[in-house]
């Protein structure tokens, strides 16, 4: 589908899918590339990484001050109590790579290998997560919406997230029920449905928006 969109854009055309369901009703979806900008600046550097412990598919930040700083200033992780902060694998990988946390006897490469064994989709998810974080967005789990992430434009926001983002490979084959379900859920909660994929040309992450339209 991403290849088809590239061809449409090269021809300066819109790409619209017309999907016919079992009752012969037609639903139209428009596909377009989007640039995920508009967030705050990416997190600053810090002098001393926080001690963290890896427990299965979670990392715990033990230092109370750093736990509070990461959560209150940048909305990383989930506070377990007033002292401890729990991080997901992608959050852990991001903070480890930027030397905000350190995990005993485990560098970035070793952690990435460990995470990829636990979560087969880790590499794709991490690529999208780190790109969104570096562009200043707040990125949290989108599990309850059936996607990888829900995304906010700014730090310290109490507003609703603007996007649902799901990481896919460049050659991902969308099933029609999968596509319809994702867009319908996004519409029902007033969010935009975005798919992040490896952008081979730019070496970063490309973003594809799929939206229901009337014709």
CATH 3.40.1170.20 placement within the chain? 50-119
Q: Which of the 8 DSSP states describes residue 99?
A: T
Residues of CATH 3.40.1350.10 domain(s) within the chain?
A: 2-39+129-213
For 81-91, how does the pLDDT look when each residue is reduced to its tens digit (9 = 90+)?
Answer: 989 999 999 99
Helix, strand or coil for residue 162? coil
Query: In the CATH hierarchy, which fold is given to the domain comprising 2-39+129-213?
Result: Trna Endonuclease; Chain: A, domain 1 (3.40.1350)
Give the pLDDT score at 22: 86
pLDDT digits (tens, 9 = 90+) for 123-169: 999 999 999 998 889 999 999 999 999 999 876 555 678 999 999 99
Q: What is the pLDDT of residue 170?
A: 86
User: Which positions ≥6 away from 134 have C-beta within 8 Å?
Assistant: 42
List active site positions. Answer: 152, 160, 191
Per-residue pLDDT tens digits for 28-49: 999 999 999 866 656 666 778 8
50-119: what fold? MutS, DNA mismatch repair protein, domain I (3.40.1170)
Locate tokens 């967030």: which residue?
39
Encoded tokens for 12: 């300066």
């Amino acid at each position: 589908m991403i290849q088809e969109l590239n061809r449409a854009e090269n021809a300066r055309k819109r790409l619209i899918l017309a999907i016919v369901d079992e009752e012969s009703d037609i639903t139209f979806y428009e596909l377009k590339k989007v640039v995920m900008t508009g967030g705050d600046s990416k997190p600053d550097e810090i002098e001393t990484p926080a001690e963290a412990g890896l427990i299965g598919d979670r990392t715990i930040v033990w230092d109370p001050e750093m736990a509070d700083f990461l959560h209150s200033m940048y909305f990383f992780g989930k506070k377990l109590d007033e002292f401890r902060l729990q991080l997901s694998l992608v959050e852990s990988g991001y903070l480890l790579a930027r030397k905000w946390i350190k995990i005993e006897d485990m560098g970035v490469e070793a952690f990435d290998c460990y995470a990829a064994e636990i979560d087969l989709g880790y590499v794709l998810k991490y690529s999208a997560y780190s790109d969104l974080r570096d562009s200043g967005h707040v990125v949290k789990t989108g599990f309850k919406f059936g996607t990888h992430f829900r995304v906010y434009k700014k730090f310290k926001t109490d507003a609703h997230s603007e996007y649902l983002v799901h990481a896919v490979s460049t050659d991902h084959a969308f099933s029609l029920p999968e596509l319809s379900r994702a867009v319908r859920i996004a519409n029902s909660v007033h969010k935009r449905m975005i798919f992040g994929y490896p952008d081979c040309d730019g070496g970063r992450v490309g973003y594809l928006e799929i939206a229901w339209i009337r014709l």
